Amino acid sequence: MKNHFLLAINTGSTSTKVAVYEGEELLFRESIQHRLSDFKDFSQIIDQYPLRISVINELLKHHNFDTKKLDAVVGRGGILKPISGGVWKVGDVMLKDLRDTKTSQHASNLSGIIAHEIAEPLGIPAYIVDPVVVDEMDPVAKVTGLPEISRRSIFHALNQKATARRAAAELGKPYEKTNLIVAHMGGGITVGAHKEGRVVDVNNGLNGDGPFSPERSGSIPVTDLISLCFSGKYSEEDLQKMVRQGGGLKAYFGTTDTQAVMKQAEAGDQRCSLILEAMAYQVSKEIAGLGAVFGGEIDGIILTGGLAQSDEFIGKIRDRIGYMGRIFLYPGENELEALRDNALRVLRGEAQAHEYE
């Protein structure tokens, strides 16, 4: 079997992560952490494109990697119209939507654009995998108490799907035959109900749904938020930033560094202890609530993302939801590996890439 060469790209809000693989073997991997000052002259995330692609090209040059060896370039998916999970080809229609400044305020949009720009001159395909807009929710899960508003599916689909497949393999069952609850806990927190291969319910962690996180507000009392909107103190842009980037630990402590807050808690800061306990409490409630989706028939619960690296934080959740069944712990994001594995499945003929229209 041919070992395909792959370039995987994951553009995050403050990082650019790149890896080159020969088959499953990692040839090299780099993670560039950006300072906020790097982006101060960019009014839109899409404006960061020249900086991001130059960083990637410099990394490839630094490692003396000949891009002509590549068989495909694969990037993390961004804000698009709702689509199903899987691998998607990057083409003209997708590029137009990824560049749309009305919807592209998510750093992951840059991954697909950059993947295409590198792949096109080489005559090789560019893909995205399980973008954040994967929508497999059951109709009943989208209904709210106001007909003007429906729940939307925006979540950490890439890592959630990858870790769910990993747990299913450990269970000796196909992903499509398992019932799993996956909690991705990073800068944002999303908890999904994976029912026989479909994420039939999940909180929209980007837009103020579910547990609060290091940088997002999570669900908050609606009428109080309405009062804040009409208080005259904040613009719409201010409030959007408060919910998406300035909530959670950022709002309480001025930082999204969970480790720093934990150290303060260990040193005796009672407020830090309370807020961390509340965050774990809300994650636990979200997990337990999804138990109703399966009627209690759950194969396992997966805890993943950056916060899963903290034994103390995970312990707080285990204490509350351990009764529900087996817990799988997969710390970190694992997103570059997920991009690799899905692209290889397509290149090896084990899966088909979808056309975005």
The residues, any chain, with a CB within 8 Å of residue 200's CB and separated by 6 or more, are: 136, 137, 138, 141, 193, 194, 293
What pairing do the DSSP bridges indicate for beta strands 72-76 and 5-11?
parallel
Q: What's the mean per-residue pLDDT of the chain?
A: 94
Confidence of residue 118 (pLDDT cuts 50, 70, 90): very high
- At 40, list the tokens: 């101060």
- Report the C-alpha dihedral over residues 218, 223, 227, 229, rounded to 10 degrees: 50
pTM of the model: 0.89
pLDDT score of 64: 97
- Residues 72 and 130 sit within 8 Å (Cβ to Cβ): no
The residues, any chain, with a CB within 8 Å of residue 23's CB and separated by 6 or more, are: 3, 4, 344
How far apart are alpha carbons 159 and 330 in whole angstroms? 10
- pLDDT one-digit tens code per residue, 255-293: 999 999 999 999 999 999 999 999 999 999 999 999 999
The residues, any chain, with a CB within 8 Å of residue 24's CB and separated by 6 or more, are: 340, 341, 344
Helix (H, G, I), strand (E, B) or coil at 226: helix
The residues, any chain, with a CB within 8 Å of residue 15's CB and separated by 6 or more, are: 31, 32, 33, 34
Confidence of residue 82 (pLDDT cuts 50, 70, 90): very high
Is the predicted pLDDT of residue 197 greater than 70, yes or no? yes
How far apart are alpha carbons 270 and 277 in whole angstroms? 10
Is the predicted pLDDT of residue 178 greater than 70, yes or no? yes
Confidence of residue 38 (pLDDT cuts 50, 70, 90): confident
Task: Return the number of other C-beta atoms located less than 10 Å from residue 145's C-beta.
Answer: 6
Q: Please report, as a single letter, which amino acid is at residue 48.
A: Q
**Using N-to-C axis directions, what is the helix angle for 222-229 and 236-244, rounded to 10°?**
140
Q: Please report, as a single letter, which amino acid is at residue 113.
A: I
pLDDT score of 170: 98
Domains and CATH numbers, the chain: 5-133+335-347 (3.30.420.40), 156-325 (3.30.420.40)
Q: Which of 26-35, 175-184, 340-349 has the lowest mean pLDDT?
A: 26-35
- At 38, list the tokens: 């790097």
pLDDT score of 1: 67
pLDDT score of 185: 96
Is the predicted pLDDT of residue 104 greater than 60, yes or no? no
Confidence of residue 106 (pLDDT cuts 50, 70, 90): confident
Is the predicted pLDDT of residue 3 greater than 90, yes or no? no
Is the predicted pLDDT of residue 101 greater than 90, yes or no? no
Confidence of residue 15 (pLDDT cuts 50, 70, 90): confident
Q: Which of 19-28, 99-108, 141-150, 186-195 has the lowest mean pLDDT?
A: 99-108
What pairing do the DSSP bridges indicate for beta strands 15-22 and 25-33?
antiparallel
